[in-house]
Structures are given as C-alpha cells and as structure tokens.
Structure 1
C-alpha cells in the first residue's frame, strides 16, 4: 500500500469548505457502496466546523445512507456535555442534527459531567473503539480522519513541547496541560491517528503558514506535531491561499481545488 502527501490550495475559506464538503460527500457514498459502512473522525476548530456546515448545506447530503456512517472525534475538551465549546456540540449543530445518523453509531468522548475521571474517560473511549472494531482488532478502520492545525502546529490535542505528540502507543490519552483552554482534554494518539486510511487536514489563514511549511519540510513531530501525520493511503492538506506561503511548490497539486462536477481522476491521481 502506498501513501503520500499532497497539498490542495483554494482561493479562500469559502471555496475551501465547499470543495472539501463536495469531496467528502462523493467519497463517503463510494465507501458505503464498496464496504457497507464508513468510520469518520471529526475535528473541531472554525474551519472544520465550516466544512460540516457546507456538508449540511449541500443537496448531495441526502445521497448518503447516514445510518451506515460511524462518527468519532479526534479530540475533545473536558467540559460538560452541553458546553458550547465541546467539539461534539458544535458538530451536532453544524451537521449531525440535520442528517439521519444512527445515534448508536455516533461516538462522542465522555464529558466532564459523566462521573468519570479524565483517565477513566480515556479508557472508556478506548473500550468503545474496541467494541466497534473488527474481530481481533483494537479499533475500527478510520476511512477519513479530519484534522485541524493550530498556528503552533498542534493537531487534535497533541501540542508541541508536551508529552502528547511523542506517545508511541495506539490509543487515547488524557491531556492535563493543554496550553489552550481548557487545560484538560482527551485525544487520540498520533499512532492511532496514523492508522487512518485517509487523513484530511483542513486549515486556513496566514498564521498557519509557518507551521505547515515546517511540517512539510520534515520538522520533528515533538516540535511541530502535524509533521508526524501520515495516513495509510493518503494525506491531503486542504488549505487556502493565505496558508500556502511556505508550502514547497513540488507538493502543490496542479489542480487548485476539486468540485463535484470534476472527474475524480482529474482531481487526484489514484483517488483519495
């Protein structure tokens, strides 16, 4: 199985969100047709939620059999279930409340008011991953994992100069020292993220350009966590023009962005 990294540059945030949404809808339809279901990992952040908004706003959303989609999260803030800052709540308001998902297949991280410690919550999410896995496996096969990227290069809740990016086990960790509030969080580890077949990183803004440039130039994941991201089949950075300032030209795909009207083979060699 081959894997590579590619960068797709979009003229602005609106085009970025619309393009990723269109690609997601087409890919999930194909995945369900081929495999019967699709395990998707969502991210928080403003651009990630804009993508979910664009998916919800597309008429093509009704072409997906949402009952066959499992929804996971890459990380979560340790807050009460109804807190507006939880990634889960934002994703539900943007997309999940508007499509007929099977609630049994929506897998949010435990909330701080669930009666668990942070470590117990991490163990509980690992147990939920095992329960949804194929026989003999410890976690499901993630077909698409969405990630945002912070200006410091963090992904999920794996921050530079913290222990998170250097954890070598496939699993879920409790984060006690996030430099962004709240300090306590839950996160998939980088080795678990990298079991994903496809990792789609979605980022916008000139403040992300330095971290992206360092990541693509081979920085240490301990210093720039996004540098350690590599999906099993494909890793795609969907970015806007502002975030592209320091991207090596050789990594930029010749087609700036994809829309539903374009043939997949014209958009990305080998599909995604």
Structure 2
C-alpha cells in the first residue's frame, strides 16, 4: 500500500462532484465487503454539500447498506441545532436526511443551544469518539475522511499561525476567535485526522490554487495546515482545473 499524495484534476465543479461521489460509492462497497461497518468523516463548505448531493443523485447509492455506515464531522460551527450554517445541517439537507439509518449512525457535534459550554462540548464529542474507539485508539478507525481546504490553507477549523494545529494530546478542541466566522467552533485535531485510512481533499476554484500549490511543495503545517494532513493508506486531492493551476505537472495523477 502507498500513502503518497495524488492529485486528480477535473474540468469543472460539476464533473468533480460527480466523480468524487462515484468513487465514494465504489470505495464504500469495497470497504463493507471486508468489514462490518464503515466510519466516514464529512466536511462542510460548498463542495462538501455538493458531493453529498451528487451521492444522493446517483442511482448507485441504493447499492450501499447505509445502516452500516457511521457519519462524523471534522469540525463544526458553534451555532444552534438546525442552523443552516452548521455542517451537519448542510449534510442533512444535501443527502443524509433522505437515509433511513439508525439515529446512532450520525454523530454531530453538540450545538450552542445544547446547554453545554464550548469546552464541555469538546469533551462530550471526545467521549463520543472514544465510545467507538478500536485498537486502543480514542476514536474510530476512520475509513474515509473528507476535507475541504480554505484559501488560507486551513482544514477543519485548524487555521494558519495558530497553536491548534500543534495539539496532539486531545482528539477534539474548542476553537475561539476564529479568523473565519463564526468565532467559536469545535474541531478534530491533526492526529485524529492523520489516523484516517484515506484522506480525500475536495477543492475547487482559483482561490484555492495557492494553498494547494504550497501544500504540495512542502510548506510548513503551521503556515499552511493542509500540508500537515496525510492519510495512512492514501491521500487524494480531488480538484477542478482552476484549483490545480499551481500544481506541478509531475504531481498530477492520470488515474486513481
């Protein structure tokens, strides 16, 4: 097995979303052929929702036994439950709300109206992760982790030039004074993300080109957090042509 980074370029956002959705369904089928359940980490942002909507639009999604899939999130905005800006709500609208799966299969972060303070909410989600831990891990063995990338290179709610990317002794952290609104958030930490079997970055748009180019060129994770994330088995950047404009030709894969 290899854990080298690969870049797959698609002509536009529509073909990008459709391709990632098709690969997701195919890979889930493979995973569920060999194990009882799959654990998937979802991301927010426009492409996160677009990919989920493409999964739902694909007739092939009915071939998955979704009751055997657990959904988690890489980060969340500290907003009330049901708020349209929450990542879990966007995922529900895009696709998850259509699935007939046990309530215990979706694992949203606590909401700001849950009665918890931000630090306590981080501890609650850490406990939820630990309750599904395997092989001595304080979290599930994630099979596929989706991540978006901000124009500044941030992933989840781990932003450049902040100490959050350096945290290694916790699975979940509270984030305050975020440079991107809202100011309060919850996020998985770098070691948890890096424990994922497969990390799939999905990014589109010319504003992402610089961050992607820097990450692939070996930038510091403190300056470009995406540079510090790598799956145990495979790391794939699914991008559109605009986002790939600063990727060296030698790093672009011709097939999966």
TM-score by structure 2 length? 0.98
Runs of 5+ in structure 2 lacking a partner?
none
Q: 1:1-272 maps to which residues of 2 (within 5 A)?
A: 2-134=2-134, 136-255=136-255, 268=256
How many residues were matched structurally? 256
Q: What 5-or-longer segments of structure 1 have no aligned partner?
A: 256-267
Is the partner of 1:244 in helix, strand or coil? coil
| Contact 1:66 1:102 survives alignment (8 Å) | no
Q: In the TM superposition, what is the alpha-carbon distance from 1:207 to its structure 2 partner? A: 0.5
Residue 136 of structure 1: how far off its partner (Å): 3.4
3-state DSSP of counterpart to 2:54: helix
- Does the residue aligned with 1:243 lie in a helix, a strand or coil? coil
1:4-36 C-alpha deviation (Å, 9 max, x unpaired): 100000000000000000000011111111111
Partner SS, residue 143 of structure 2: strand
Deviations 1:39-61 (A, max 9, x none): 00000000111000000111111
Mapped partners of 1:111, 1:143: distance in 2: 25
List, as ranges, runs of 4+ consecutive aligned residues in structure 1 with deviation greater than 2 Å.
Answer: 134-137
Contact 1:56–1:99 under 8 Å retained in 2: no
The Cα shift of 1:170 comes to 4.6
Q: Is the partner of 1:120 in helix, strand or coil?
A: helix
| CA distance in structure 2 between the aligned counterparts of 1:252 and 1:34, rounded to whole angstroms | 30
Cα deviation per residue 1:144-194 (whole Å; 9 max; x = unaligned)?
000000000000000011121122235100000211110000000011100
Alpha carbons 1:42, 1:145 under 8 Å: kept: yes
